[in-house]
């Protein structure tokens, strides 16, 4: 047992016996990806920390892989209180009416991970979370999952390679515009349905972080992947606001500490997990990985930069300007 775990156990045992004897508060934590992804591992870490820090007064029930709800249904379930916690991708808030979150979907907005976290860990990230509260949702943390790549059954090197492909996306008007700018046909689809849809030809390709593609075995039904790093995938850990506000103060404080530590863990493992996933994909021999040349990347950027201006009325010019400033974004020539 590590020193940290001994410390947590000692703190739990130090609680009054009456407090330890109470029936635990159950928190259902649902998400749509596999347990061995960065998000899945971070959720497990949060469970361990939360239960230890509260001395068993809280029980976290994890439901990965859409066990409880499809990703289109889980937000409504949270608002109704059927599930207490979620970790949806940031694109999920656009359909909820908080369109400013779709700023994260703008292609090539982030030059590196530090630029992304300058938003999530800064004033804009906090402001976006406040916009969720009228919807009955409390934002607790942003969990990083790194840059996204493209996949299809034909090489995607030039923009013309996308022509006519049916590409699965999350429900985001920005992602819709992105695929159309490339000449593809966007198809909104639940992540849990993606592998079968690719296998049967219902869709031709997709975009996602390598860890998600690998754990869902997407590489087994896609012949090519392009390391485009065109978008950044992240999640918001959210909770039903009424439930959260009704928790005893000491419980809420312990959970906040657990979330903070789990967030540091999630963000620390994202890059290594994605690197390991790419190694696994390559070792499988099922998928060919392509690294775009600078000329190819410039062509992609030239095609996709107009999406920023096109989506400004939807996302909000002020939100985009704040994101540009925080991320140090410089439009390509």
Q: What is the CATH number of the domain that holds 176?
A: 3.40.190.170
- Residue 265 structural domain: 3-326
Per the structure, the count of domains in the chain is: 1
pTM of structure: 0.88
Task: Strand 288-290: give its sheet, edge to edge.
Answer: 185-188, 166-169, 205-208, 149-152, 224-226, 288-290
pLDDT above 80 (res 8): no
The answer to whether residue 311 is domain-embedded is: yes
The answer to whether residue 333 is domain-embedded is: no
> Average of pLDDT values for 221-225?
97
**Dihedral (C-alpha) 127, 131, 132, 138: value to the nearest 10 degrees?**
40
The answer to whether residue 331 is domain-embedded is: no
The answer to whether residue 332 is domain-embedded is: no
**How far is CA 182 from each of CA 55, 156, 269, rounded to the nearest angstrom?**
53, 11, 31
pLDDT, one tens digit per residue, over 87-107 is 999 999 999 999 999 999 999
Instruction: Output the pLDDT for position 72.
Output: 74
pLDDT above 80 (res 168): yes
> Average of pLDDT values for 207-228?
96
**Residues 239 and 87: beta-carbon distance below 8 Å:** no
pLDDT, one tens digit per residue, over 13-62 is 455 544 445 799 999 999 988 899 999 999 999 999 999 999 999 999 99
The answer to whether residue 47 is domain-embedded is: yes
The 8-class DSSP code of residue 219 comes to G
């Amino acid at each position: 047992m590590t020193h940290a775990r001994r410390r947590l156990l000692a703190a739990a045992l130090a609680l009054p016996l009456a407090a330890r004897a109470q029936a635990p508060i159950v928190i259902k934590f649902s998400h749509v990806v596999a347990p061995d992804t960065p998000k899945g591992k971070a959720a497990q870490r949060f469970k361990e920390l939360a239960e230890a820090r509260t001395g068993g007064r809280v029980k976290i029930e994890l439901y990965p892989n859409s066990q409880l709800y499809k990703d289109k249904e889980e937000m409504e379930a949270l608002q109704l209180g059927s599930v207490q916690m979620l970790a949806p991708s940031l694109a999920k808030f656009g359909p909820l009416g908080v369109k400013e979150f779709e700023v994260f979907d703008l292609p090539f907005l982030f030059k590196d991970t530090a630029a992304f976290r300058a938003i999530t860990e800064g004033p804009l990230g906090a402001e976006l979370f406040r916009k969720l509260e009228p919807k009955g949702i409390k934002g607790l943390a942003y969990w990083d999952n790194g840059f996204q790549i493209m996949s299809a059954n034909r090489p995607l090197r030039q923009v013309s390679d996308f022509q006519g492909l049916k590409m699965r996306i999350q429900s985001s008007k920005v992602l819709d515009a992105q695929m159309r700018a490339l000449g593809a046909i966007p198809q909104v689809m639940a992540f849990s349905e993606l592998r079968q849809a690719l296998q049967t030809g219902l869709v031709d390709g997709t975009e996602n972080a390598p860890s998600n593609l690998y754990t869902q075995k997407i590489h087994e039904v896609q012949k090519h992947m392009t390391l485009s790093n065109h978008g950044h995938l992240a999640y918001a850990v959210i909770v039903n606001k009424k439930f959260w506000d009704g928790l005893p103060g000491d419980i809420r404080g312990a959970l906040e500490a657990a979330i903070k530590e789990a967030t540091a863990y999630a963000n620390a493992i994202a890059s290594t997990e994605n690197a390991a996933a790419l190694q696994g994909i390559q070792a499988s021999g099922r998928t060919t990985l392509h690294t775009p040349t600078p000329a190819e990347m410039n062509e992609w950027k030239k095609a996709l930069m107009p999406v920023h201006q096109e989506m400004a009325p939807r996302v909000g010019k002020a939100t985009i300007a704040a994101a540009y400033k925080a991320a140090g974004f410089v439009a390509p020539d």
